[in-house]
Amino acid sequence: MPQIAQDFHGQTVITTFETTPGLAFDLMESLQKAYAECISKQPGFIAAGLHINDARTRVCNYSQWQRREDYQAMLRTDEMRERNRHINGLCKGFEPVMYDIIANYERLTPS
pTM of structure: 0.87
pLDDT at residue 62, rounded to an integer: 94
What percentage of the chain exceeds 90 in pLDDT? 77
Band of residue 111 on the pLDDT scale cut at 50, 70, 90: low
pLDDT at residue 39, rounded to an integer: 97
CA–CA dist 88, 82 (Å, integer): 10
Given a contact cutoff of 8 angstroms between Cβ atoms, the answer to whether 90 and 26 are in contact is yes
Tell me the longest C-alpha to C-alpha distance in the chain.
52
Which one, of 3, 5, 9, lies nearest residue 70 by Cα? Answer: 9
pLDDT at residue 8, rounded to an integer: 80
CA–CA dist 42, 57 (Å, integer): 29
pLDDT digits (tens, 9 = 90+) for 41-95: 999 999 999 999 999 999 999 999 999 999 999 999 999 999 999 999 999 999 9
Q: Residue 9 above 90 pLDDT?
A: no
CATH topology classification for 11-99: Alpha-Beta Plaits (3.30.70)
Which one, of 98, 99, 75, lies nearest residue 87 by Cα? Answer: 75
CA–CA dist 104, 1 (Å, integer): 16
